[in-house]
Chain A
Amino acid sequence: MRLEPINNPSLARSLVPPTIALGATIVFASLLAMVAGANPFSVFGLILSGALGSKFAILETLNRATPLIFTGLAAAVAFRAKFWNIGAEAQLYAGALLTVLLGTGLLPWPSIALLPTLAVFAILAGATLLLVPALLKTRYGVDEVVTTLLFNFIFLLFISLLLEGPIKDPMGMGWPKSARVISEARLPRLVDGLRLHWGFSLAIFSAICIWIIQTRSTLGYEMRAVGLNKQAAAFAGIPVNIVLVKTALLSGGLAALAGFSEVSGLKGSLTLDLSPGFGYTGIIVAMLALLHPLGVIVAALFVAGIFVGADSMSRAADVPTYLADIMLATALLFMVLAIMLTRFRVVRD
C-alpha cells in the first residue's frame, strides 16, 4: 500500500476520521467495561454524571483541568518545535518546590506582590530544569526524550529527599510533606466557598498568550519553522539552537506553573503525590489538541472530565479507574491515525 497526499481535504473528510476515532474509543472502552462485569451504558452514564452531573462535579473537572492546561501547553509548545519534552512532571515539581521554598514565610509580602513573584520563580525553576536536557541536545546531540524522562525519576527522588529532610514540615507528624504556604501565597478562590481557584484563569490566560505568540510573534514563527524543517530553517538564517533553548525555557516554565497552581491554589503544601502524572497526561492533552494552544483548553477539559468521571464511576460501578487511562491511550492512538487519514489517501499499489 502507498500513501498519497490529498491536496484540499473537504470539511467532511476532516471531520469523519476524528469522529470515528472517538467512536472506536468508546466501543473499545465498552468492551472493557463488559469484561469488568458492568453495563457499558451505565458506566458511561456514571462517567458523564461524575464529570458534569452537579455543580461540584463541574468545578472538580475544572480544577483537574487547570494543571492539565499548563502541562498540555508545555507539551504543545515543545512538540511543535519537535523538542520532545517528556519531563513536564519534574518541571511541575520544580515549580511547586520554588513555591514552597519562597511561600512558607521567607517573603512576608502581601498577595499582590507575593503571588506574581512566586509564579515568576516557579517559571524560572521549570525553565532551568529543562535547560539541561536542552543544552545536552544542542551541544552534544543527546536525544531529549530519554534525558527528560530520566530527569523525572531523578528529580522526584530529589524532592523526596528534601521532603524527608530540609523542607519537612515540623508540625507534620512525621509525614514527608512540606510546611503550608502562608495565606498571602494562596491563589484566591474564583467562586466563594468552592475549590475552583484563580489558577484556572491563569491557565486560560496562558493558553491565549501562547496562541498569540505562536501565530503573531517572531519566536512563534521561528519555533514552527524549526519544528517543520530544521535544515531549511538553519539555512535561512534562523538560529536553530537558540530557538530550541527558548522553546525549552517556555515549555519548562509552563509546566512549572502547573506546580505553582496546584500548591498555591489547591493543596497548600508540597507532597510526593502532588501530581498523579499531570506531566505525562499533559502530553496526551497536547496530542489530542493537535498541538493548538486553544485546543489544549478543550482537550484538558475533556481529559479532566474523563478522569473525574471515572473516579466517581469506579466507586459506584466497581470498574477499575484505569479504564480512563486506557480510553485516553486508545483515543490518542486512534486520533493520530485519523489525522493522518484526513491528509492522505491509502492507495493499493
Chain B
Amino acid sequence: MSSNLVEALRLTEITKRFGELTANDAVSFSVNKGEVVALLGENGAGKTTLMNILFGQYTADSGTVSVFGQTMPPGNSRAALDAGIGMVHQHFTLADNLTVQENITLGTRPLFNPRLDRVSARAKIIDLSTRFHLLVAPDARVGNLSVGERQRVEILKALYRDVQILILDEPTAVLTPQETDDLFATLRLAIADGLAIIFISHKLHEVMTIADRVVVLRHGKMTGGVRIENTDKHALATMMMGTEAIPPQVSLANPGASLLELRNLTTPNIGNMPGLKSISLALKSGQIIGLAGVSGNGQASVAAVVGGVHKPDEGQLVLKGRAVQKWSPRDAVNNGIARIPEDRHKTGSIADFDLTENAILERYSTAAFNKGGWLNWRSSRAFANRIIEKYDVRCPSADTPIRLLSGGNMQKLILGRVLETDPQIILANQPVRGLDIGAVNYVHSQLLAARDRGAAVLLISEDLDEIMALSDVIYVISDGRISPGFKRGEMTPAQLGIWMGGQGFDRTVNHAT
C-alpha cells in the first residue's frame, strides 16, 4: 500500500431518520485511495442507508459528504456518479431485456444525443473486462446470465464510468467460496489501480481477509473504527452486536423415520431457473437437512415441490410412506408441512391484512376458523393473540396491519402460525434473511427445538455459515443436481464451495467412468 495517503472520501456526522427510526446517527469516517474499508454491521444497522446517502439516493438530515475535498450536493445520484462514486447494489440494478453492453452504457451519454457510439464503448468494455478479470460477453442478454456473471456486469458498470470510490453492498451473499476468491482478486487489482473501496458485509471472516480498516455500525451508530491489524473476530463481533450474541446450542441429532422423500424428481426449466434433474432426497424425523447453494440453482424448485406450489412432473413425492397423487399448497398444509417462504413480504404475508387475517392465511377454511363458509373472527383473533404472546411478536394489537411490523416481528408471526400446528415437516426457506441477530438466534432456536421434538426440517439458505451451523446433513444443489449428503463436520466451506460451483458433480461423473 502506498505511503502517500490521499483522502478520497470523508463522511462527517451523517444523520438520517425515517419517521421515528434513526437509521444513521452522526456517523463519520474516511476512506483513502488504494484502501479497502469494510463497513460491518448486522442487518438493520444502517449500512445500506448510509451508502444510499453517499450515492445520492437519499438525502441525509444532517452531515456532509466530501469527495477529494469537494462537498457533494445531497440527494443527487448524478453528481455522485460524476464525482467518481460507483455502487454495486445488493439487489442488482440490471435490465434483463438489454445486453451487457447496453446495461453498462445506460445513462453514460446525454439523453438527447442521438449517437450511441457502440464501437468505442465495446472496446472499452473488453479492455476493462480483461484488465480486471471480469469476463463477460458484451452482446449477451443479461436475462440469460448467471448470478456471478451479473455481478461482474455491475462492477463493470462502475469501472466503465471511471469510478474512484467503489462501494460493494454484501457482494458475496450470492457467490460460491471460489467466486468470492475471484472477486477479491479483482478488488486487489482495483486497489492497485488506486481505487478506494468500501466493502459492506456482515461476515467477519471475509472482512478479516480483504479489509485494511473496519468501521462498525450498530443501531445506526458507529461503535468502532479500527485497523485490521489491531483487531480480531471477537472484538469485531462485540462491536457489531453489543455483547457477543451467543447462537443457540446445537445438540446431536437422533434421526428417526423418513417423513418426506423426493425420489428421482425432475422438473422443467423455467426461464433461467434450472429445473431439477432427477434428484432424490429424504427428510427424516428429528433431523435438519441443509440445502446449500448459490441462488438460482434450483432451490426455488425444491421449495416449490415440498411446499405444494408445484406438482412434480416426473418422479415421486413420498409422504410418510405413500406416494402423493394430488398436490397443492393446501394439501401440503393439511399433511403437516410447515412452510416458511423465502420472501416474507411477497409470499409470506399480505401487507394490508392485519395480524389476525395473516395468522389464518393458510388455515382459514379449516373447522377451527370456519363454519359453512363464514369466518369465525373470534377464534381467529384468539389464535393470533396466542401466537403474539408465545412468539414475542412486538405489535400494538392483533388488529394492526402487518406492514407496520418490523421484519423480525413479521417473521415471528409467520413462524408462529406454522409452528403452532405442531408440524412434522418444516420447510424453512431463507428463514433469517434480513433479520437482526436477536431475531436470527430466535428463529434458529425455534427450528432446533422443533427438530428436537421430532420434526424434519429442510433448511434452504444462501448463507453457508448458517447451513453449516444448523444442519445435521448437508446437500449441495447446483444447476438442478444434488450432491451426496455430507454429515455435520464432514466438509469444509471450501470443499462445499467446489460442489456449489458445480465441479464436484463432474468429478463424480468422471469417477463413474
Binding site for B on A (CB under 8 A): 4-5, 7, 216-219, 221, 224-225, 228-229, 231-239, 348-349
Contact = CB atoms under 8 A, between A and B. Distances in A.
Contacts of B307: 235
Interface string B343-370: 0001111111100010001101100001
Interface string B186-226: 00000000000000000000000000000000000000000
A267 to B, nearest CB: 36
B15 interface: no
Contacts of B373: 217-219
Given A4-B18, A221-B364, A235 B58 contact: no
B329 A236 contact: yes
A349 B374 contact: no
Contacts of B361: 225, 232-233, 236, 238
Contact of B19 (A7, A221, A238): A7
A157 B348 CA distance: 46
Contacts of B341: 235
A217 to B, nearest CB: 6
A7 B333 CA distance: 33
A349 B352 contact: no
B346 A232 contact: yes
Interface in B432-468: none
A233 B350 contact: yes
Contacts of B377: 216
B375 interface: yes
Contacts of B309: 234-235
A218 B373 CA distance: 5
B79 interface: no
Contacts of B332: 237
Interface of B: 18-19, 58-59, 75, 307-309, 328-330, 332-333, 339, 341, 346-353, 357, 361-362, 364-365, 370, 373-375, 377, 403-404
B346 A218 contact: no
A238 B365 CA distance: 9
Q: Which 7 A-B pairs have the closest CB atoms?
A: A237-B330, A237-B329, A236-B361, A229-B350, A235-B347, A236-B362, A228-B350
Given A216-B375, A237-B362, A221 B357 contact: yes
Contacts of B347: 231-232, 235
A287 to B, nearest CB: 18
Contacts of A233: 350, 361
Given A4-B18, A221-B357, A349-B59, A235 B375 contact: no
Contacts of A348: 59
B362 A221 contact: no
A139 to B, nearest CB: 17
A202 B86 CA distance: 64
Given A217-B375, A218-B374, A221-B364, A234 B19 contact: no
Given A7-B19, A7-B404, A236-B361, A229 B374 contact: no
B212 to A, nearest CB: 33
B348 A232 contact: yes
A237 B328 contact: yes
Q: Main SS of chain A's interface residues?
A: helix
25 contacts: A7-B19, A216-B375, A217-B373, A218-B364, A218-B370, A218-B374, A221-B357, A221-B364, A221-B375, A224-B353, A225-B353, A228-B352, A228-B353, A229-B346, A229-B351, A231-B347, A232-B346, A233-B361, A235-B307, A235-B341, A236-B361, A236-B362, A237-B333, A349-B58, A349-B59
B113 to A, nearest CB: 27
A285 B333 CA distance: 40
A328 to B, nearest CB: 27
Q: Identify the interface centre among A218, A236, A238: most chain B CB within 10 Å of its CB.
A: A236
A343 to B, nearest CB: 10
A293 to B, nearest CB: 17
Q: Identify the interface centre among B328, B330, B374: most chain A CB within 10 Å of its CB.
A: B374
Given A7-B19, A225-B361, A229-B351, A234 B329 contact: yes
Nearest to B56: A349
A4 B330 contact: no
B151 to A, nearest CB: 26
Contacts of B339: 235
B350 A218 contact: no
Nearest to B347: A235
Given A7-B19, A237-B329, A232 B357 contact: no
Contacts of A231: 346-347
A314 B19 CA distance: 51
Contacts of B75: 349
A273 to B, nearest CB: 40
Nearest to B349: A232
A224 B358 CA distance: 12
A234 B403 CA distance: 19
A237 B363 CA distance: 9
Contacts of A232: 346-350, 361
A349 B351 CA distance: 25
A217 B350 contact: no
A154 to B, nearest CB: 34
Nearest to B401: A7
B182 to A, nearest CB: 34
Given A232-B346, A237-B332, A348-B59, 19 more contacts: A5-B403, A216-B375, A218-B365, A221-B364, A224-B353, A225-B350, A225-B353, A225-B357, A228-B352, A228-B353, A229-B351, A231-B347, A233-B361, A235-B309, A235-B339, A235-B341, A236-B361, A239-B330, A349-B75
B350 A235 contact: no
A7 B329 CA distance: 33
